[in-house]
Structure 1
Amino acid sequence: MKSVLITGANRGLGLELTHQYLERGDQVFAATRQPDSATDLRALGQQHEGRLTVLPLDVTSADSLRAAYAQVAAATDHLDILINNAGILPGHPGSGIDDDSSETQKLGQLRYEDAMQVIGTNAVGPLLVTQQFLPLLKAGHKSRVVSLSSGLGSLELKASGSHYHYSASKAAMNMYMRTLAAEAGHFGIISIMVDPGWMRTDMGGTGAALPAADSARGIIRLTDQLHAEENGSFVTWQGKPVAW
């Protein structure tokens, strides 16, 4: 049984990853900004009594990070897997960001405060979550850190004038976590960035072809099979390299 922490676990891919890890018998710590309203997570907890802990976590708050760490550390002496899934996409339903429309994501309407909120959550957040939980990851067995990125974060592939802040945040996250991988690798921790694909979720919309369950299944399989030489890599949910 592995000990797994998943951020942004209350919906979409995070919820599906939580479900699949529980189904295979692992202990899961599911982090969300508003646990009291995470009804789907609560239902999973009832189905897998004793193996799911739902905890509050705002990845942009130092106090919230410390409190989440204390709660996890009180329940386990190690983490085997950390999945940095929490993220926001302005202008999309289920993104978790207060934005009345996608108009503020167009050239001429871009705002500093929006950029800082998205980059703080999507890029700096995963770095600080990993830093906070590093002691437990060091104590884990062949620990893995998987940070959910996006093809929109690829400088080489980016060709559209859209999603300014989101694309930049994912590119920045890739650099943060690749840098962390070089240092955390000295402790035997493997850290990778994964493009989960365009999924049918609240954030991805109904036009997406990929079910979240398929992406989650691929990410779990990929995480289980990681080798040291893959540390710091950027790949798809199927394990194929993504251009930086």
Structure 2
Amino acid sequence: MRVLITGANRGLGLELVCQYLERGDHVFAASRHPADAVELQRLHQQYADRLVLLALDVTSAASIAAAVQAVNNATDALDLLINNAGVYPNAGSGDAHQRLGQLTHEDAIETMQVNAIGPLLVSQALLPLLRAGRKGRIISMSSGQGSLTWKATGDPYHYSASKAALNMYMRSLAAEIGHMGLISVIVDPGWMRTDMGGNHATQEPADSARGIIRLAEQLHAEENGSFVTWQGQPVPW
């Protein structure tokens, strides 16, 4: 398996990197500043033959192009892309940046660029490599907060809207790449104890990672375009 994971330097992304490496897979771990990613650097020393660290800012066209070129230099195909990179401005800080009365253009644009637009453009850029892989799959990390059906609060405005936008982008992508033999699914990884999720979250990243890896292994063409939990249960749009 040749897998590329964005947002790989911490939280769920880092856990996915670890578990794929432990399985014996080849991993491309992308983050904005890999030289500063202590855990990734440690893993690279241990798995130098199967782990490639990539610099990737999903909001930058030049950065996406450079990362894709680096992957092309190292392999002729990818089997799986996991769009995991995401932001939740001021998560856990206790301030009100995503509440009515405190909303700003800057926070809205950053959140939409990283959480929705970035994954679409990264996926687009990697399509040739995924088409060359074995049963190429794209898994994009969304959230129950992106479900219109489940949405029952105001805060967080930007995060929820960005995940709903991601869902539409990836549903649209699925409609086209299904004809290429590829599969795109959207996954709610659950509320995890990470820097983003905070200490009150209900599950460990390791559990979500195991479920996501199992899900990726078992995907079938009829599931293309679906929105599911990390345990494979349908999430309402």
Identify whether the pair has TM-score above 0.5, normalized to the shorter chain.
yes
1:104 is aligned, of 97, 106, 114, to 97
**What CA RMSD, in Å, does the superposition of the two structures yield over aligned residues?**
0.9
Cα offset, 1:104, TM superposition: 2.1
Is 1:168 the counterpart of 2:161 in the alignment? yes
Cα offset, 1:101, TM superposition: 6.0
Which residue of structure 1 aligns with residue 116 of structure 2? 123
Which residue of structure 1 aligns with residue 170 of structure 2? 177
For 1:74, what is the secondary structure of its paired residue? Answer: helix
Once structures 1 and 2 are overlaid, which stretch shifts more, 108-117 or 221-230? 108-117
Letter in 1 for 2:91: H
Aligned residue runs from structure 1 range 181-196, under 5 A: 181-196=174-189
Which residue of structure 1 aligns with residue 37 of structure 2? 38
Letter in 1 for 2:213: I
| Separation in 2, partners of 1:12, 1:176 | 24
| Separation in 2, partners of 1:92, 1:102 | 8
Letter in 2 for 1:121: V
* Count of residue pairs brought into register by the alignment: 237
| Separation in 1, partners of 2:18, 2:70 | 21
Is 1:226 the counterpart of 2:219 in the alignment? yes
Which residue of structure 1 aligns with residue 65 of structure 2? 66
| Separation in 2, partners of 1:81, 1:152 | 25
Once structures 1 and 2 are overlaid, which stretch shifts more, 175-184 or 103-112? 103-112
Is 1:240 the counterpart of 2:233 in the alignment? yes
Moved over 4 A (4+): none
Tell me the TM-score normalised to structure 1 length: 0.95
Letter in 1 for 2:159: Y
After superposition, the C-alpha distances for 1:76-122 in whole angstroms (9 at most, x for unaligned) are 000000000000001115xxxxxx76322111111112111100110
Tell me the TM-score normalised to structure 2 length: 0.98
| Separation in 1, partners of 2:94, 2:89 | 8
Which residue of structure 1 aligns with residue 8 of structure 2? 9
User: Structure 1: where are the runs of 5+ without partners?
Assistant: 94-99
| Separation in 1, partners of 2:50, 2:97 | 42
